[in-house]
Amino acid sequence: MSDDMNELDTPTFRLAVAQFDQAAERMNLDPNLRQRLKLPERSLIVSVPVRMDDGTVKVFMGYRVQHDSSRGPSKGGIRYHPDVNLGEVAALAMWMTWKCALAGLPYGGAKGGVRVAPKELSRGELQRLTRRYAADILPVIGPDKDVPAPDVGTNSQVMAWIMDTYSQQVGFAVPGVVTGKPLSIGGSLGREEATGRGVVYVTLEAMRHLSLDIDKASVVIQGFGNVGSHTARIMRESGIRVIAVSDASGGLYNAKGLDIPELLRRCNQDGQPLHDTKLGDWITNEELLALDCTVLVPAALSEQITHKNANKVRCRVLAEGANGPTTLEADQVLTDKGIFIIPDILANSGGVIVSYFEWVQDAQRFFWKAKDIQDRLQEIITAAFHRTLQFSMAQQATMRMAALMSGIDKVAQAHLARGLFP
């Protein structure tokens, strides 16, 4: 890795660059473009001082990385997690670029984050942290520049505080500065469940393509946050048995199918931890990934399926709800086993597709019905799936390679058309 990348040198960024290199090699991408697309266009590191409830001031590290803006404003989530670092944020920004291009959205990729354990903060501390971070990144965000959204550890309330902080600075309400907001201030119907719904739409398409019987199918989901819980609910509504789900502490397993509505009621309304619901047998996350199932959805954090456990994975379809859950070595093992992988930049693009709808609605000051949003999401994400599938068969490439090559090619075309300034 060149000296330019020392600060970015983390496992997640190495994975993103290695995937890019493989695709660029196969595409014979212009060497000048390769260098430009490997490194982010702009990286901002901020120190975020926050007055804690006990009167002390604590300083947190914050980041905003814009990978590419050749096709439009950059777009990407904000993550609050103790492991956030520049390399991880840069990798996620790169994946967002390919994801937006693959879905045909007029965006480049960005990502942001603060290195913090949000659950350890009071609501007041979380609000002060968010507003200070928003003020620090204010010069580089805006509805026509860079549009943040929720990610791991953030939600619609955090987006509302960012929107308010930005609006206070400019002197009028700017709903389009972020997406994933509450409905009362310009949020969109269907945004909260969008990533999970998108995962289900592409999984159903993959199962039809592979002639798998949906009535007999079973699904295992790692992660029971926003993406995992909505995926579980919508899978269940589609008539598919969800036999296991998990969170950071472990998972629940029931071969006949978990009672997902009851599980969601207890976890969301009653605030019960997954373990305490007693709705299935308690298993570890390692055991969960090795369960025999039709579909496995890793919807937690990156690098969960590695060379160490890839051999134990026993699914027919792997639908990546999380970003970068499969390492390069594991990818090869799974492909050799004949597992059909729906790559992250395709499988979890429902979130950014509905974020795009929200941004458009804010710009038009005209809001759509929930049914319109679901129909348009299904149309865009299934079209992207079939384009990728056809490309993969024509090029005899894996779905991941086909998705990356399609996304990278669109961005490369934009760069070649615009040229290099000055």
pLDDT tens digits, one per residue of 227-239: 999 999 999 999 9
Same domain, 7 and 51: yes
Same domain, 168 and 261: no
Residue 180 lies in a domain: no
Same domain, 162 and 237: no
- Separation of alpha carbons 30 and 408, rounded Å: 12
Residue 412 lies in a domain: no
- Separation of alpha carbons 29 and 38, rounded Å: 12
Residue 220: DSSP 8-state: E
Same domain, 9 and 152: yes
Pairing, β 250-253 against β 295-298: unpaired
**CB–CB of 227/322 below 8 Å?**
yes
pLDDT of residue 4: 54
Same domain, 11 and 73: yes
77 strand-pairing partners: 149
pLDDT of residue 272: 79
Residue 240 has pLDDT above 90, yes or no: yes
Same domain, 211 and 99: no
Same domain, 170 and 313: no
Residue 413 has pLDDT above 90, yes or no: yes
For every residue of 95-110, DSSP letters joined together read HHHHHHHHHT-S-EEE
Q: Mean pLDDT for the chain? A: 94
Same domain, 165 and 200: no
- Examine the fold and report which residue of 308, 326, 347 is the final residue of a domain before the chain moves on: 347
In which domain, by residue range, is 204 found? 194-347
Q: Kindly name the residue from 58, 111, 119, 145 that is annotated as catalytic.
A: 111
Same domain, 217 and 333: yes
Q: What is the average pLDDT across 170-188?
A: 97
- pLDDT tens digits, residue range 74-88? 999 999 999 999 999
Total domains in the fold of the chain: 2
pLDDT of residue 5: 56
- Examine the fold and report which residue of 174, 206, 226 is the final residue of a domain before the chain moves on: 174
Task: Check if 58 is active-site.
Answer: no
Same domain, 150 and 214: no
CATH number of the domain where residue 159 is located: 3.40.50.10860
Letter string b/e over residues 97-131, b meaning 16 or more CB atoms within 10 A of that residue's CB: bbbbbbbebebbbbbbbbbbebeebeeebbbbbbb
CATH number of the domain where residue 325 is located: 3.40.50.720
Residue 3 has pLDDT above 70, yes or no: no
Residue 373 lies in a domain: no
- pLDDT tens digits, residue range 185-230? 999 999 999 999 999 999 999 999 999 999 999 999 999 988 999 9
Same domain, 122 and 212: no
- Separation of alpha carbons 408 and 193, rounded Å: 27
- pLDDT tens digits, residue range 324-357? 999 999 999 999 999 999 999 999 999 999 999 9
Question: Among positive and negative, which fits the CA dihedral 114, 162, 155, 360?
Answer: negative
- Examine the fold and report which residue of 316, 347, 378 is the final residue of a domain before the chain moves on: 347
Residue 179 lies in a domain: no
Same domain, 289 and 251: yes
- pLDDT tens digits, residue range 115-137? 999 999 999 999 999 999 999 99
Question: Among positive and negative, which fits the CA dihedral 88, 402, 330, 197?
Answer: positive
Residue 67 lies in a domain: yes
